[in-house]
Amino acid sequence: MSIQFERESLYEEVWSEPLTRLGKKYGLSDNGLRKVCIALNIPLPKAGHWAKIAAGHQIPRTALPKNSKITSYLSNPKPAEPQSQEKSEDAIWLEHRESFEADPANYIVVDLQPKKFHPLLLETRSRLIEKAKVSAKLIIEAQKEASKPRGRVWEPHINAANLSIFEQGGQILDLYKRDMPFRFTPLTYERGLAIANTLFYMAESRGFEIIKEKDSNTLCIKTNGGQVYIRMTEKLRDEVVNPNNLSDIDKILGRTKIKVPTGILRFYLSSEGSSSETEISDSDDKLLQDNLNLVFCKIYKLVIRSKAKHREWAERRREYAEEERRREERERVRQEKLRLQEIESQKRKDLLKEANDLLNCI
Confidence of residue 181 (pLDDT cuts 50, 70, 90): very high
Q: Identify the residue with better confidence: 13 or 83.
A: 13
Confidence of residue 109 (pLDDT cuts 50, 70, 90): very high
Which of 138, 149, 202, 203 lies closest to 174 in space, CA to CA?
138
Given a cut of 80, whether residue 191 has pLDDT beyond it is yes
Given a cut of 50, whether residue 335 has pLDDT beyond it is yes
What average pLDDT does range 31-59 have in this prediction? 84
User: Residue 28's Cα: distance from chain center in Å?
Assistant: 27
| pTM: predicted TM-score of the whole model, two decimal places | 0.63
What average pLDDT does range 20-29 have in this prediction? 84
Find all residues with CB under 8 Å of 103, minimum gap 6, and list them.
54
What average pLDDT does range 239-266 have in this prediction? 72
Given a cut of 80, whether residue 86 has pLDDT beyond it is no
Which of 76, 75, 74, 71 lies closest to 9 in space, CA to CA?
71
Given a cut of 70, whether residue 79 has pLDDT beyond it is no
Which of 192, 180, 269, 189 lies closest to 219 in space, CA to CA?
180
Q: Identify the residue with better confidence: 215 or 340.
A: 340
Tell me what the pLDDT averaged over the chain comes to. 83
